[in-house]
Structure 1
């Protein structure tokens, strides 16, 4: 045991990790035992012993935030598969995880979404899980653009509308695609409620660390659709473990502005 890891946090971390991994044997100890055993102890004691037990997000919500962050950053297939399996173990539904990966097409791009789906497929195959494809909801009355604009206003309010307006002099079709595809098609799909979609979006944007204006819009969106300040803050703290403290600090500073203005 790392002498700097408190025994009670290590014990608590082992218990929380066991729930996520579905096994009393922490695989991270075996994986790092011959090269960096202290890193394994620090991860268990800090991430699972101090961050995961915090109030404000349920364990399934923490796993949803984690898989969104890992998938959005890309290049982390082993950890993504581990946490997708963990999400199943703590009660996330397979259809929710598939929908979270589809949702990322808007914010992290289609390659990230496709790689996320590939990781989910591998995890589901090992677990013997079969996922029925979710059909999109029937189109609302009126045009696809009108339906998307109404949903944009519902979620992001005037902050989202201002983003679309800012594109009119340079890329008006990009604004139209955002309304029709992101909000008219993706946000209309079943599988995740609006608060969960915004939680996924905030986690992804915060983890990528390069889209602060859009992150602020969706922080407002999370609060607009019933998310709480505590959920917002806890999602930021959660991604510190997976995307690093600098990105979490930047996200926290953005959250301060959003909460003050909301």
Structure 2
């Protein structure tokens, strides 16, 4: 190879490397810009604080939050911002170990159009999956967030003003998503804990899931997110994936809820959730 040809090859290689680096930087900037726009729309007063709080120890973590959490995931078209906040509030309530992030997303939920009553009902629904300590701690966070934003719950009746009792309400709520599953719940626990079956129907469905501040689809988003985030509820996740389909959610929307859990509960939880979704869909098709 002549010196001229060798020099020309080096020049082409340098040009290619420069172009690759420029393309990579441009892609990174586009992801960051997209994520930053979404983040500041939800938390205009606190978005910069997220970056500033990490600048001294892990500035790349701040970039990851914006680029991946918001630029890659939150801005995907499968769910609207309010639905994504329902999923996030449910997941963080269920995890029980992220009070600062829960408060951030309660405020973001308000910015996305959720009412205080709806946010509280997301916590009620999640309490069914994560227990009363998780629910009580989340309500304490919500109280502080609402006070800062100058909003409050309405204390409006959560159920229709009729004479229907808890058991009938619970059976009706369960039938709306799972057809004749009520008797199956009773039968499945009759040999060991019949009162647990009654608690599921009367409390979980009759008192909580039958409440009217959230739509049926919003309740299922919260339950799918909570079950995925906890990481130990594949059977329940499959039940509520099917229930979500029954109330009009699409498979793509359910996948989006679970994909988002990679940001808040980690990739293993999200991957296990997707496996449960695949099995639920196959059972529906079968």
TM range (shorter): over 0.9
Answering whether residue 83 of structure 2 is matched by residue 61 of structure 1, we say yes
1:221-232 mapped onto 2 (5 Å cutoff): 221-232=243-254
Residue aligning to 1:135: 157
Q: Distance in 1 between matches of 2:214 and 2:47?
A: 32
Q: Distance in 2 between matches of 1:24 and 1:182?
A: 36
Residue aligning to 1:189: 211
Answering whether residue 198 of structure 2 is matched by residue 176 of structure 1, we say yes
Q: Distance in 2 between matches of 1:10 and 1:143?
A: 52
Q: Distance in 1 between matches of 2:169 and 2:34?
A: 47
From 262, 270, 275, the counterpart of 1:253: 275
**CA gap 1:149/1:108 in 2 versus in 1, 3 angstroms:** same
Answering whether residue 261 of structure 2 is matched by residue 239 of structure 1, we say yes
> For each residue in 1:83-134, what CA deviation from the matched residue of structure 2 results, as whole angstroms up to 9, or x when unmatched?
1111111211111101111222211111111111111110010111122223
Q: State TM-score, norm by structure 2.
A: 0.86
**CA gap 1:26/1:164 in 2 versus in 1, 3 angstroms:** farther
Residue aligning to 1:200: 222
Q: State TM-score, norm by structure 1.
A: 0.93
Structure 1 runs of 4+ with >4 Å offset: 2-5, 138-143, 158-161
Answering whether residue 169 of structure 2 is matched by residue 151 of structure 1, we say no
**CA gap 1:169/1:5 in 2 versus in 1, 3 angstroms:** farther
Residue aligning to 2:57: 35
Q: Distance in 1 between matches of 2:283 and 2:26?
A: 40
Shift of 1:74: 0.1
Q: Residue 84 of structure 1 contacts residue 120 of structure 1 at CA under 8 Å; is this kept in 2?
A: yes
> For each residue in 1:118-165, what CA deviation from the matched residue of structure 2 results, as whole angstroms up to 9, or x when unmatched?
111100101111222232314755543233123212212356654442
Q: Distance in 2 between matches of 1:23 and 1:217?
A: 39
- Helix, strand or coil at the partner of 2:53: helix
Q: Which runs of 5+ in 1 are unaligned?
A: none
From 89, 107, 120, the counterpart of 1:98: 120
Size of the aligned set, in residue pairs, is 261
Residue aligning to 2:7: none
**CA gap 1:260/1:173 in 2 versus in 1, 3 angstroms:** same
Q: Residue 99 of structure 1 contacts residue 192 of structure 1 at CA under 8 Å; is this kept in 2?
A: yes
Q: Residue 153 of structure 1 contacts residue 161 of structure 1 at CA under 8 Å; is this kept in 2?
A: no
